Amino acid sequence: MARRPEEYRTGLWVDWCPGCGNYGILQAVTLAMAELGLEPEKTVVVSGIGCSGKTPHYIYANGVHTLHGRAIPFATGIKLANPELTVIVHGGDGDLLGIGAGHFVALGRRNLDITVILHNNQVYGLTKGQASPTLPYGVKTKALPKPNIQDMLNPVALAVASGYTFVARGYALDVKGLADLVKKAIRHRGAALIDVLQPCVTYNDVYTVQFYRKALYRLEEADPSWDPVVHSPEEEPAKRAQALAKAMEWGNRIPIGIFYHDPHKPSFEDRIARLLPGYREAPPAKQRITEPGGSPAGGNQLLEVFRDKLVNVKSRGRRGTATPN
C-alpha cells in the first residue's frame, strides 16, 4: 500500500547546514519508502558517525545510530537475525570507506540483502572538512591548507569489484531520479550500493551544485543501448568489466544511473538457508529465548552438556580417563 512521504518523517528538527545535499537524500529516501509502502515497524535504518549519521533520527522507522564505521556490521546482525526486515544503511564516504572499508567489502562478498546509501561529499563534514577517501589527488577544498596528497577511492568500482549485485550512482538534488534508484535497490535481493554525490555547501567548494550541474550525465540518455543487467550467469564477467570501465570515468563528465545489476546471484540469507533448513521460518529473532517462568530456553540441556564436558576435561587432566565426580 502506497503511503505519503511525510508519514516517514519523525518531525525532529533537522540540523544539517542550510543547502546541504543531505536534505535531498532524506527526501528521496522517504519518497521511495512511501512509494514502496514499507512498513515502518519492519524497516530498520542504520547509520555510523558523520553528518549522514543523523539520518535515522529523521526517518520514522526503527533506527540505530551506531559507532564510527560500524553501520554495516550492525545492519548485518539485524538482517541475519530477522531476514524479513528491510535494512537500509546510511553512511558518509569517511565512515563507510575509511574506517569502515573492510566491512563495506565484506558486505559485497556476502551479497547480504541490505541497501547501502553512501552520502558522498568527499570531505569529513562533521569534523570541519578534512579530505575523505573519495577526494581526488591534487584537489584542494577550502578547509585544506594544501592540495590532497592521496588518491581517491572510487565507491562504484570498489562495490562492483567486491561483489555487490546492484550498484548505482545518484545525485542528491535529483530527488525523483534518486528515489527511483532507492526503490530499485530496496527491491533487489542482495547487496545494493547507491553512491550519492552530495554537495557539502560548507566545506567542499570544488564539488558544488554548479560543478555537478555541468558534469553529470545519465548513462541511459548518453547511450540508449546501455544495459547494466546480467541476463544470465554467463554474462557476469563481461557486465562486471563494463561497469568497472564506466565507473572509472571521473572528471568533467561523471555518469549517474545503474552500473551493474545481477539478479541471479543467491543472497547470503539464501546461502545460509541452504545450510540450515528452517532458518527462514525460525531465524534467531523468532526463536524462543526464555521458558514461561523466565529461565533461559534450553538452558538446562545446555548446562548438562557443559557439565559433562567439564567433568571429562578435569578427569583427563588428572589420569587421562573420564571419571565423573
Closest approach of ligand SF4 to the CB of residue 203, in Å = 5
C-beta of 45 vs 114, nearer to ligand SF4: 45
Closest approach of ligand SF4 to the CB of residue 27, in Å = 14
Closest approach of ligand SF4 to the CB of residue 198, in Å = 7
If 0-12 CB within 10 Å is exposed, 13-18 middle and 19+ buried, where does residue 288 land?
Answer: exposed
Closest approach of ligand SF4 to the CB of residue 160, in Å = 26
Closest approach of ligand SF4 to the CB of residue 113, in Å = 28
C-beta of 104 vs 207, nearer to ligand SF4: 207
C-beta of 154 vs 204, nearer to ligand SF4: 204
Strands 254-261 and 166-171, bridge-based pairing: antiparallel
Contact call for residues 144 and 136 (beta carbons, < 8 A): no
C-beta of 76 vs 202, nearer to ligand SF4: 202
Extract the C-alpha cell encoding 165.
549485485
φ, ψ for residue 168, nearest 5 deg: -140, 165
C-beta of 108 vs 170, nearer to ligand SF4: 170
Closest approach of ligand SF4 to the CB of residue 264, in Å = 37
Extract the C-alpha cell encoding 179.
528515489
Coil, strand, or helix at residue 309?
helix
Cα within 13 Å of Cα(156), Cβ side: 27
C-beta of 203 vs 260, nearer to ligand SF4: 203
Backbone region of residue 287 per phi and psi (left: phi > 0; alpha: psi in -120 to 50; beta: other values): beta
C-beta of 201 vs 272, nearer to ligand SF4: 201
Alpha helices in the chain (DSSP H): 22-36, 55-58, 71-81, 93-94, 101-110, 155-162, 175-187, 209-215, 219-222, 236-247, 268-275, 299-319
C-beta of 22 vs 30, nearer to ligand SF4: 22
C-beta of 66 vs 204, nearer to ligand SF4: 204
For cell 540450515, what's the residue? 276
Closest approach of ligand SF4 to the CB of residue 92, in Å = 8
Q: How far apart are CA 169 and CA 219, in angstroms?
A: 10
Closest approach of ligand SF4 to the CB of residue 153, in Å = 18
Q: How far apart are CA 284 and CA 80, in angstroms?
A: 8
Closest approach of ligand SF4 to the CB of residue 172, in Å = 10
Can you give the binding site for ligand SF4, defined by CB under 6 A? 16-17, 20, 22, 51, 121, 125, 200-203
φ, ψ for residue 223, nearest 5 deg: -140, 95
Extract the C-alpha cell encoding 243.
561497469
Coil, strand, or helix at residue 46?
strand
Q: CA 208, 209, 211, 217 torsion: positive or negative?
A: positive
